[in-house]
Amino acid sequence: IPYFYTIQKSFMHLHKIFYALIKADGHKEILDYCIAPTENSEVWSELLTGLVSRGIKHVQLVIADGLVGLDSALNHNYPQAKFQRCLIHMSRNIMQKVRVNDRAEVVNEFKELHRAKTRDEAQLILNRFIDHWESKYPRMVRNLASTSNLLTFLEFPPSIRRTIYSTNIIESFNKKLKRKTKVKEQFPNESALDRFLATIILEYNEKYFGRAHNGFKQCQDTLESMF
Lowest mean pLDDT among 94-108, 149-163, 192-206: 192-206
CB 88 within 8 A of CB 168: yes
SS3 2: coil
pLDDT band, very low/low/confident/very high, at 207 (cuts 50, 70, 90): confident
For the cut 60, the answer to whether the pLDDT of residue 11 exceeds it is no
What pLDDT shows up at residue 98?
Answer: 96
What pLDDT shows up at residue 17?
Answer: 67
What pLDDT shows up at residue 15?
Answer: 54
For range 23-40, the mean pLDDT = 82
The average confidence (pLDDT) of the chain is: 85
CB 145 within 8 A of CB 130: yes
Nearest CA to 118 among 155, 170, 162, 76? 155
For the cut 60, the answer to whether the pLDDT of residue 105 exceeds it is yes
CA distance 139 to 94: 10
For range 71-85, the mean pLDDT = 89
What pLDDT shows up at residue 221?
Answer: 92
CB contact burial 117-129 (16+ within 10 A = b; e otherwise): eeeeebeebbeeb
For the cut 60, the answer to whether the pLDDT of residue 64 exceeds it is yes
What pLDDT shows up at residue 185?
Answer: 66
